Amino acid sequence: MVRASLAAAFLWFVAAPLWASPVSHFTLENGLEAVVIEDHRAPVVVHMVWYKVGSADELRGKSGIAHYFEHLMFKGTDTMAAGELSKTVAANGGSDNAFTSYDYTAYYQRIAADRLELVMKMEADRMRHLKISPDDWKTERDVILEERAQRTDSDPGALFGEQKNAAQFLNHPYGTPIIGWRQEMEALTRDDALAWYPKYYAPNNAVLVVAGDVTPDQVRTLAETYYGVLAPTPDLPERQRPQEPPQLAERRLVFPDARVAQPYLSRSYLAPERDPGDQKQAAALTVLAEVLGGNSATSVLGRKLIFGDGSAIYASAYYDGMAIDDTTFNLAVMPVADVTLPEAEAALDRALADFLKEGIDPAQFERIRTRIRASEIYAQDNTEGLARRYGEALASGFSIEDVQSWPDVLMSVTEEDVMAAAHAVFDKRHAVTGYLTRPEQEAAQ
Amino acid sequence: MIRVALAAVMALICALPARAIEITEVTSPGGITAWLVEAHDIPFTALEIHFRGGASLDAPGKRGAINLMTATLEEGAGTMDSQGFAEATEALAAQFSFDVGDDSLNISARMLTENRDKAVDLLREALINPHFDQASLDRVRGQVQSIIASDAQDPNAIAGQKFRALAFGDHPYGSSLNGTADSVKALTREDMFDAKARVMARDRLVVSAVGDITADELGALLDRLLGDLPATGAPMPPRAELHLTGGTTVVDYDTPQSVVIFGQPGLAMDDPDFFAAYVLNQILGEGGFSSRLMAEVREKRGLTYGIYTYLVTRDLAETWQGSFASANEKVAEAIEVTRAEWARAAKGEVTDTELSEAKTYLTGAYPLRFDGNDQIAAILAGMQLNHMPIDYINTRNAQVEAVTREDVARVAKRLLDADALRFVVVGRPVGVKGDAL
């Protein structure tokens, strides 16, 4: 459901450094939340609508519907022909696209600031008035199958990741690929799309983000005109997904594929996500990923595996806490030519064990803090990036305050916090370790 | 250290792009020229340093040397080893990237105003005093070898490699700038110093800066950072002769979806018909969801996730290319539709609507590119690399607007030829036969 702020006219600014873009926020009476990020350096605007629905909200057996539906959103309304939105945006010099994730689906246009009304009118139109003609949907299903072939089936690394993810999540839909399992995609129908649309594509399930050369008043006036008239979905369900049971057993898998040139191992641990109003643990894990694998020359894994024993070509750590439910902390190692995957894994485990004993080099910790501070300066140069940051967070249930306090939360993390997070997350019972190999190497192991 | 004020030779206000951009041509006291846009809103500067010639300046038998050298620049320099250099970069929160292409070697830097002098001194060490020590060289060599091995198994890379070999033969454009496993294996530390001397010289330098820096400050920076580079490098490579012929080449590869690259001869940016071809390419295959090929191959038939064409204007050769991927069972039809659209386009008949939509897109999208210091710095560097005048930004849209249907028809008939189109198909395409080459 929508945040507590009563009706519209709620508008506020947040104190920030001189160079930071002003950000304002309001909610329409029908529940549409809006964020306006001002950047008057160029007469350009980014207009985004983020729906609070993603592949993790799909019914079992209908995997891929969230993403398939995203494609169908370009098929026209009573007043727009199929493809007309993109065509109109292009004819006005703009660009548009859309993307689907586990927790959200988003649509955006980038265009000259004086054309904001044009794109908002079209985006609002398809929020409630989409028409899927009986002719279009099968061709578009072929397109998503080609997309799956291109992105996943042609890439052993992507197939491996999909299998590994499925092993990580025993019950939660994060274990199902966003694009869908092929046999379920092949069976998706127009009726599935028509069932998906009216419930989730509604103003009270959406976040509007407008960033660029606009004022909050302008955006509010336009938003009231075009989005304000749309009917909300009554009794929108809470986003309750099936949760993970206690994970009690380490999982391991080997994925052989003749197309693999460089074998590597990848390990994920179940890890807590960022929580609205409580981001400390996720901040510690974010810093932990930087400490372990942020820079191959200075990180712990880089020092120990690439520069130290020389067992690895690449070593990395990755964590992104922006999720609604439990997510993963990820490690990957690509061994040098004469090191096997089991040897590389043993070296990784030694490196982790040593790190847990040795703790963090204070000089490295200080450099990471410097970079966190600087990244906020560099981020101001990318308005679209800022827009995505707010859209993703609000669509995932976070507040503006959560987004704006995140850099401070990161800066408040201590070395002790990071080590505590490391001790908590590195539990092999919650982990999946996968080897991506060539077939003959699998046989040799 | 030089701290002498300098002459800002030329300042030009461009009215068209988004923010009225004032490009200043700055010449340092030491004679190094750069294009500058001052933008003091955010306390950092984006700097682009390019050396013309790029990896195509590899010495005979040393393919991959310039690429390996570029990747090793930051792996130890001055008094710092590889890790020391990375630590110093982190401590300043500076961001440096070192990259090389067929036509230029590119160094991009972002530096905070608060410690810019230190960041410049640090970057200078990598540009002037790199170690190329054996351990670092071997470590980076291992990374490059890993990329070469991955490319050998990647259908997109295989297709690109095959296409460039067919098009350019023995010219450097005909092979990957990574080199081969054998050529990279043989490279020595001496080769790194030679490779650096061939390409990183002041006579082929292009620089742009955008951000929180004045012309005087930039002038001093240029001399400090680049003044000690050698004056001259290796002679530029010759133009590449194009060996492309029409037909189809199939590279067998066990994967469910075929990757296709297709192409024919193109035209240079200084060709009088360049903008007519540019508009035609937009209509044919560049216009995303609006292009003819996207409509026919994706929207109407569902044969691909995406199909695009592009005018490839390298310094030493020009092609008109495109690419898509399609299931092995469908790729024959996709190729047939593509060839038919190419033949239709070759007739040069575009509607008034197509022409005006392409023009409004191209003219409307152009100012939107000037969004952010990084992008503007990259655009300014690209303009200089392509020998465009400093006022190009002001005239570019007028050149697009001036294109008529007759211009499009002329360039279509002159250039586009479905029979000259070479398709390279990597996969197990059903019903597609390669010709013997």
DSSP string, B33-60: EEEEEE--SSSEEEEEEEEETGGGGPPT
Which DSSP symbol is given to A381? T
Chain B contacts of A112, Cβ < 8 Å? 364, 367-368
In a domain, B302, yes or no: yes
**Of A60, A317, A52, nearest in space to A175 by CA:** A60
Residue B111 within a domain: yes
Reduce the DSSP state of residue A239 to 3 states and report it: coil
In a domain, B416, yes or no: yes
Residues B194 and B71 in one domain: yes
Selected for mutation to probe chain A from B41, B80, B108, B401 (highest A CB count within 10 Å) is: B41
| Residues in chain B closer than 8 A to A293 (CB atoms) | none
Name the A residues in 175-234 with CB < 8 Å from any B CB.
none
B176 and B274, same domain (yes or no) = no
Q: Please provide residue A208's backbone torsions phi and psi, each rounded to the nearest 5 degrees.
A: -100, 130
* pLDDT over threshold 70, residue A364: yes
pLDDT at B290 over 90: no
Which of B172, B192, B226 terminates a domain? The answer is: B226
The CB density around residue A352, as the number of other CB atoms within 10 Å, is: 19
Residue B407 and residue B332 share a domain: yes
> The domain containing residue B332 runs over which residues?
247-369+389-427
Is B325 close to A146, i.e. CB distance below 8 A? yes
A439 touches chain B (CB under 8 A): no
Q: For B222-266, write each residue's pLDDT tens digit.
A: 999 999 999 999 999 999 999 999 999 999 999 999 999 999 999
Domain assignment of residue B238, yes or no: no
Question: Is any Cβ of chain B less than 8 angstroms from the Cβ of A371?
Answer: yes
Note the pLDDT of residue B16.
46
Together in a domain, B105 and B186: yes
pLDDT(B319) > 80: yes
Interface mutation vs chain A, best among B153, B369, B425, B428, most A CBs within 10 Å: B153
Residues with Cβ within 8 Å of A175's Cβ and at least 6 positions away in sequence, in order, are A165, A166, A167, A168, A169
Interface contact A381-B44, CB threshold 8 A: yes
Is the separation of the CB atoms in A174 and A327 below 8 Å? yes
- Single out the residue of B39, B104, B35 nearest to residue B393, CA to CA: B35
User: Within this chain, do residues B264 and B117 fall inside the same structural domain, yes or no?
Assistant: no
Kindly indicate the confidence band of residue A7, based on its pLDDT and cuts at 50, 70 and 90: very low
Q: Give B351-362 pLDDT, tens digit per residue.
A: 999 999 999 999
Catalytic (active site) residue A70: yes
- pLDDT for res B22: 86
Which of B159, B194, B226 is the C-terminal boundary of a domain? B226
- Are the Cβ atoms of A307 and B325 closer than 8 angstroms? no
Q: Are residues B133 and B184 in the same domain?
A: yes
Indicate the residue among B226, B260, B283 that finishes a domain: B226
How many domains does the structure of chain B reveal?
Answer: 2
Has residue B376 been placed in a domain?
Answer: no
B80 and B16 belong to one structural domain:
yes
Same domain, B99 and B147: yes
Same domain, B281 and B220: no
Strand partners, B112: B44
Whether A92 and B360 lie within 8 Å, measured CB to CB: yes
Task: Indicate whether B309 and B422 sit together in one domain.
Answer: yes
On whether residue B242 sits in a domain, the answer given is no
When pLDDT is averaged across residues B52-66 and rounded to a whole number, the result is: 97
Looking at the structure, do residues B47 and B193 belong to the same domain, yes or no? Answer: yes
Q: What is the pLDDT of residues B73-106, one digit of tens each?
A: 999 999 999 999 999 999 999 999 999 999 999 9
B24 in any annotated domain: yes
Same domain, B191 and B56: yes
Nearest Cα of chain A lies from the Cα of B237 at a distance, in angstroms, of 33
Band the pLDDT of A134: cuts 50, 70, 90.
confident
In a domain, B231, yes or no: no
* Residue A237 pLDDT: 87
Q: Considering CB atoms only, which of A19, A147, A258 is closest to B43?
A: A19
Residue B8 has pLDDT above 50, yes or no: no
Would the pTM count as exceeding 0.80? yes
Q: What is the pLDDT of residues B149-189, one digit of tens each?
A: 999 999 999 999 999 999 999 999 999 999 999 999 999 99
Read off the CATH number of the domain in which B220 is found: 3.30.830.10
